[in-house]
Amino acid sequence: VRITPLSSDVEELSRLWGMSQRNFHRLSVLYRVSSVVLEPDVPTTSPLPVTDRVVTVSQLRQPRVASVTSSARDVAVVEFGEVVVVAGEALRGSVTEVVLGEQRRSPATGTDVELRVPFDAASTLRAGVYALQVRHRIELPGGQLRDGAASNTMPVALVTRVPTAGLTVDAIPHPDPANPDQILRVHLLPEPLPDASQSIELSLTSTADGVRRTSTDSQPDGADGVLFQFTPPPPSGTYLVRLTVDGAESLLVQDGAGNFVAPAAVVP
């Protein structure tokens, strides 16, 4: 900001203080405060000359997203193996893409009011919390595509699926006998595991006392699962298992009484 002092006479100051209900006056100094735009020096390059000019005319349709839900529930939480359902208006264009963060996918099926994008191994989508947007692309002569109209954005969480049956947790002693830490191997469904650029957290909640223990120290273990190191190691018992990837936490299953019962595993 730029601060500049202003010159004022006694009459102006008396009018200023006259708007106050106080019966005393103080020596006042006036300043003008304004913003200053700083333009950094950005290096530029000279592009190659234009050799061809192409004019393309296309109908501009403005897509609008009204809701994003899962094929299994009416909330914007989609578990691995389910389908992302996008509802709205004018969603389908000549070339339609569903954008989740930096990931772009073509819908498997689509109409003007609904688009469907599977969240499975074939889609190669990553788990996480995203801002979803529908984007129309314009095809130019020669097959080139350019971005066209884009919809509003809606949040959606793609969560990892932890198996509710057959889940095993193996306690592996630390290679260093003097280290009391414990390494747990969690066997997950055969789905693409998040890469090292994503944050991963394993949460174990005891069914006995409700204490939650977490670990972010993880590494892939080939086809067997993921290794998590706990400090200190959790006591033996039964635990509810949740996996959080980039802020998207896996779901728990409830019984008829509303109690969380799965996915669960026994720590030896």
Q: pLDDT for 78-133, tens place per residue?
A: 998 899 999 999 898 888 999 998 889 989 888 899 999 999 888 888 888 999 99
Q: Is 198 exposed, middle or buried (0-12, 13-18, 19+ CB in 10 A)?
A: middle
Residue recorded with tokens 């984007």: 135
CA-closest candidate to residue 64, choices 147, 154, 158, 146:
154
Read off φ and ψ for residue 16, nearest 5 degrees. -60, -50
When comparing pLDDT for 188 and 12, which is higher? 12
pTM (2 decimals)? 0.68
CA angle at 189 for the pair 225 and 224, rounded to the nearest 5°: 20
Strands 182-186 and 226-230: antiparallel
CA-closest candidate to residue 99, choices 131, 57, 72:
131
Contact 215, 229 (CB under 8 A): yes
Q: pLDDT for 205-264, tens place per residue?
A: 888 888 888 877 777 666 556 777 777 777 888 888 888 888 888 888 888 888 888 888
Q: What is the DSSP letter of 53?
A: -
Residue recorded with tokens 């290679």: 175
Peptide bond just before 232 cis, omega within 30 deg? yes
